[in-house]
């Protein structure tokens, strides 16, 4: 059974950190819509110029644009054994479009990462990214890093991590993305994970939850009762 996973949660919840680690361990691609858009911004494409204006204000890029990008990405052959969607869907319209584009029987596992607002603001004020390789860093032992440990390039603050933009991103999250909890909440493959634990502990919680869902999904296929809705808790 292919691992098809959606990760959503507020800005700074750790979606990118966790998706990257999980993608490596399960050998499936991490598809981050934020990364795709930032790459377009860096390359100065028409999409990038359009997206930058929206992203710098902490708003969401249009559903039409982002759904097109994800559809195109999911048509590539490397998703054959699964994928991790990091930051998509983030509106109900995007979630509906995703359901429509998944035609096979693999369960879509949906993980919501929960972290209190004050922790998110603190994390994002310390986040630094490598201007060269894109690696993400957080504060370590109270120190904010300045140089990339992989490529030795200077670390920079992401344009949308300025405090006023972070507050707007949190507001937009509550208004437009939080409704996904109601959209996905009664599916057996929806799981809420406490993201306010050390990164390795979050990864362990996620792995256990994913294996639980895959096991339930396997049983359901074996019993031919795929339409039952059973809640799996983390």
- Contacting positions for ligand AP5 (CB under 6 A): 9, 11-17, 33-34, 37, 54-55, 58-61, 66, 87-88, 90, 94, 123, 127, 136-138, 160, 169, 198-199, 202
- Residue with Cβ nearer ligand AP5 (199 or 218): 199
- Residue with Cβ nearer ligand AP5 (159 or 219): 159
Exactly one of 4, 38, 52, 127 is catalytic; which is it? 127
Q: Is 38 a catalytic residue?
A: no
In this structure, the strands spanning 108-114 and 3-8 are parallel
| Neighbour-count burial for 123-146, b at 16+ CB within 10 Å, e otherwise | bbebbbbbeeebeebbeeeeeeee
For residues 174 and 172, what is the distance between their CA atoms, to the nearest angstrom? 5
Beta carbons within 8 Å of 149's beta carbon, 6+ residues apart = 135
Q: Minimum CB separation from ligand AP5 for residue 211, in Å? A: 20
Q: Minimum CB separation from ligand AP5 for residue 28, in Å? A: 17
Q: Minimum CB separation from ligand AP5 for residue 169, in Å? A: 5
Q: Is 171 a catalytic residue?
A: no
Q: Can you point out the beta strands (E) in 16-156?
A: 30-32, 82-86, 108-114, 128-130, 136-137, 155-156
- The residue sitting closest to ligand AP5, measured at its beta carbon, is 34
Maximum Cα–Cα distance across the chain: 55
Q: Is 169 a catalytic residue?
A: yes
Catalytic positions, please? 15, 90, 127, 158, 169
């Amino acid at each position: 059974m292919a691992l098809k996973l959606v990760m959503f949660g507020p800005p700074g919840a750790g979606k990118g950190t966790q998706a990257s680690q999980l993608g490596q361990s399960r050998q499936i691609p991490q598809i981050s819509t934020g990364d795709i858009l930032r790459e377009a911004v860096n390359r100065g494409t028409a999409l990038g110029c359009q997206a930058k204006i929206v992203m710098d204000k902490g708003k969401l890029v249009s559903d039409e644009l982002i759904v097109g990008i994800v559809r195109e990405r999911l048509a590539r052959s490397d998703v054959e054994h699964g994928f991790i969607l990091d930051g998509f869907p983030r509106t109900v319209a995007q979630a509906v479009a995703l359901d429509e584009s998944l035609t096979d029987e693999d369960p879509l596992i949906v993980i919501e990462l929960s972290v209190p607002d004050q922790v998110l603001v603190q994390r994002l004020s310390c986040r630094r990214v490598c201007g060269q390789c894109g690696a993400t860093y957080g504060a370590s032992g109270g120190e904010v890093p300045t140089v990339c440990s992989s490529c030795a390039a200077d670390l920079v603050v992401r344009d949308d991590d300025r405090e006023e933009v972070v507050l707007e991103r949190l507001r937009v999250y509550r208004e437009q993305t939080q409704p996904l909890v109601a959209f996905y909440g009664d599916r057996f493959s929806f799981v809420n994970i406490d993201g306010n634990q050390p990164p390795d502990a979050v990864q362990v919680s996620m792995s256990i939850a994913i294996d639980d869902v895959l096991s339930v999904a396997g049983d359901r296929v074996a019993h031919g009762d795929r339409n039952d809705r059973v809640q799996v808790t983390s």
